[in-house]
Structure 1
Amino acid sequence: MDVLRPVRAFDRTQQLHPWLAIPLAVVKKFTDDGAGGLAALIAYYSFFSLFPLLLVFVTILGYVFHGDKSVEKTIEDSVVAHFPVIGSSIRSHQLSGSVAAVVVGGVIALWAGLGVTQAAQNAFDRVWAVPYKARRDFLRKRLRGLLLLAVLGTLFVISSVISGLVSAGLGSLGYKTGGIAISVLLNVVLFTAVFRLLTTAAVPTRSIWMGALIGGVLWEILQVLGGVYVTHVVNHATEAYGVFATVLGLLAWLHLGALATLYAAEVNVVVMRDLWPRSLLGAPSEPADESALRALAKVEERSEYERIEVEFRTGGPSGGQEDS
């Protein structure tokens, strides 16, 4: 009795239907890339980077909008909305002291915050199968990280102003509907900027819109889930358990956010490079299988003098011809 017969039938069927083949190819490539581990690494660095970065952000807001508390509060509310599990803790914290102390503290906090940008760049290089020899060096990675933080900070401010205008111009029902639509649109813009800046490979901007759209929708869902978690778990917990719940909730939320981001990035790669349909069982029988695995192997090229060639056995596991 062939227990795998139904699975083989499903494999043949999914390869004939793009609506099924593309999502399965994304999952397959996500697994091949070890993106689950990369997402965990991003979440780990985010856990230690997020608070310093938000601290610097809120401190800068305090200096820039020192005379306009309403604008400052509006932007802080946006930070809380984007990072519901930790955002409320930022309200009562801000770098203070002399100008020199604030500058030194800001530089240290910013340097600590660059950890997540480095982890994200490494993950995107893996997703796009960028060989080690073609990746950015130490200095360029950190400069790109600073640029990413500056762009995201600017977009946060813009999104806060737009959200404030929407809330002022719409009624309660209209605000909820229009607010969600505006929030998703702004998330898509954020993801487009993130994908553009984190991608070392030569990729046209028009090829990342699908992943940015998916990422924007998933991020909006995560914001809602984070808000629900804070409302129903953290706010009703005891002091000791509340700290524990906040830490676990933040880690889980960051991990889900990293997973959503990398899955969205994988969609861009699979669609742009036609890495579908993929075979789910046995040998890599489809052209997309060979293209994906060949690119993954060539990631390990670390020098201009090194060249990795990939061959696939076409005669089965016991022997036969090989195809390069």
Structure 2
Amino acid sequence: MDVLARLDTYQRRHRWAGLPLAVAYKFYDDQAAYLAALLTYYGFLALFPLLLFLVAVLSSVLNGNPEVQQALLNSALREFPVIGDQIVHNIRSFHGSPFAVAVGVAGSLYGALNVAQAAQHALNKIFAVPRHARPDPLRSRVKGLKFLSLLALGLCVTTVLSTAAESAVGLFGARLAVGVRVAAVIGAVLINAALLMASYRVLIRRRLPLRTTYGAALAGACAWQLVLWGGTYYVGHVLRGATATYGLFGIVLGLLAWLYLGALIYLVTAEITAVRWMRLWPRSLLSPFTDRVHLSAGDQRAYRSYATTESFKGFEKITVHFDPPPHADTREHPHADAGEHPHEDTGEHPDGDGRA
């Protein structure tokens, strides 16, 4: 116990150790892995019809410009390395088909709206928005449409950026190719980071300060770029030369894994932002494992927010009281509870939305 007490004291005093631990504990408390699975499920339903619809529309609009059409398709589908490569190689099978357009519209609308709803639910839970403060079903779907518009805008911007980079490489030659590609990657990372921050503003009923969001958003955008490269490697090296049956299962499983990783990155980025904004650290090292522990101020704020998040009505009053822990050894943290004695919840929240 002396070793655990020393580790606990150390991580409470050092931000580089205490902050990641608090993020991991909140990720577990919020059941974010299940929220990511929900995002993956609806994303899987929406992604292929959406790409089908995109290809059909581009095929119809740019029917007289096959070179421009192919360049745009290659650039757009590069953002979806697992399934995009298959669509590029089988584009003639649904070239401009009205049936593809109909299937794409219906499937994309159903799946995409539910992706937006799942993302909105996850973020509201992570940022402790009380249920009574969340938008009603109609307004939440309007917010979902705004969120989808952001994603579409981001895809268009990154597509134009990628197409311009490829054109610049062909124009200036191999000497500047590396510099142009590096600039394109940096631009894509910055755009994705801006999209992350914009999605928080659209989907969450909180006003988050920029200083608490940009660092995590930039890290999330870099992680997403690594996932894109990993998906490209997976298609080019694992699925190349695979049999039809293995290739089919490889595509489906690879797509699910790719979507799940993307959902995890999105939610972990949100968890980091929430922990910093709501000051949910440092946490007690043993708080998820036993009741025989002295809760830190971060623990108390976290458990208090979980309770107030479940209030369904604005006039519903919720109080949280922390009794002394049973049989806890006060010698383990003789200084940790200074100013952190058990008390009732004041209901205060960083933006004043809490209820006592």
- TM above 0.5, one fold? yes
**1:81 paired residue number:** 78
| Match 1:270 to one of 275, 281, 301 | 275
| Match 2:20 to one of 7, 15, 23 | 23
- Report whether the alignment pairs 1:312 with 2:313: no
Kindly tell me: are residues 298 and 32 of structure 1, through their superposed partners in 2, closer, same or farther at Cα, counting changes over 3 Å?
A: same
SS of residue paired to 2:160: helix
* Residues 24-103 of structure 1: pairs in structure 2 closer than 5 A: 24-91=21-88, 92=91, 93=94, 96-97=97-98, 102=101
Return the offset for 1:152.
1.5
Given that residues 284 and 290 in structure 1 are in contact (C-alpha distance below 8 angstroms), is that contact kept between their aligned partners in structure 2? no
**1:202 paired residue number:** 207
Kindly tell me: are residues 102 and 253 of structure 1, through their superposed partners in 2, closer, same or farther at Cα, counting changes over 3 Å?
A: closer
**1:214 paired residue number:** 219
Q: Which amino acid aligns with 2:113?
A: L
- Report whether the alignment pairs 1:323 with 2:333: no
CA distance in 2, matches of 1:186, 1:33: 28
- Structure 2 residue runs of 5 or longer lacking an equivalent are 170-175, 288-292, 329-340, 345-356
CA distance in 2, matches of 1:254, 1:94: 26
Return the offset for 1:125.
0.8
Return the offset for 1:108.
5.0
* Residues 169-208 of structure 1: pairs in structure 2 closer than 5 A: 169-170=168-169, 171-208=176-213
**1:232 paired residue number:** 237
- Deviates most, 291-300 or 56-65: 56-65
Return the offset for 1:90.
3.4
Kindly tell me: are residues 141 and 285 of structure 1, through their superposed partners in 2, closer, same or farther at Cα, counting changes over 3 Å?
A: same
Given that residues 201 and 207 in structure 2 are in contact (C-alpha distance below 8 angstroms), is that contact kept between their aligned partners in structure 1? no
SS of residue paired to 1:44: helix
Return the offset for 1:127.
0.6
Kindly tell me: are residues 231 and 104 of structure 1, through their superposed partners in 2, closer, same or farther at Cα, counting changes over 3 Å?
A: closer
Write out per-residue CA displacement over residues 48-92 of structure 1, whole angstroms, 9 at most, x where no aligned residue. 111122223333434444444344333322332211111123342
The normalised TM-score by structure 2 is 0.81
The normalised TM-score by structure 1 is 0.89
Q: How many residues were matched structurally? A: 317
- Report whether the alignment pairs 1:160 with 2:165: no
Return the offset for 1:241.
0.7
Kindly tell me: are residues 75 and 10 of structure 1, through their superposed partners in 2, closer, same or farther at Cα, counting changes over 3 Å?
A: farther
Higher relative contact order (CA 8 A, sep 6+): 1
- Deviates most, 207-216 or 245-254: 207-216
- Deviates most, 69-78 or 35-44: 69-78
CA RMSD of aligned residues (A): 2.4
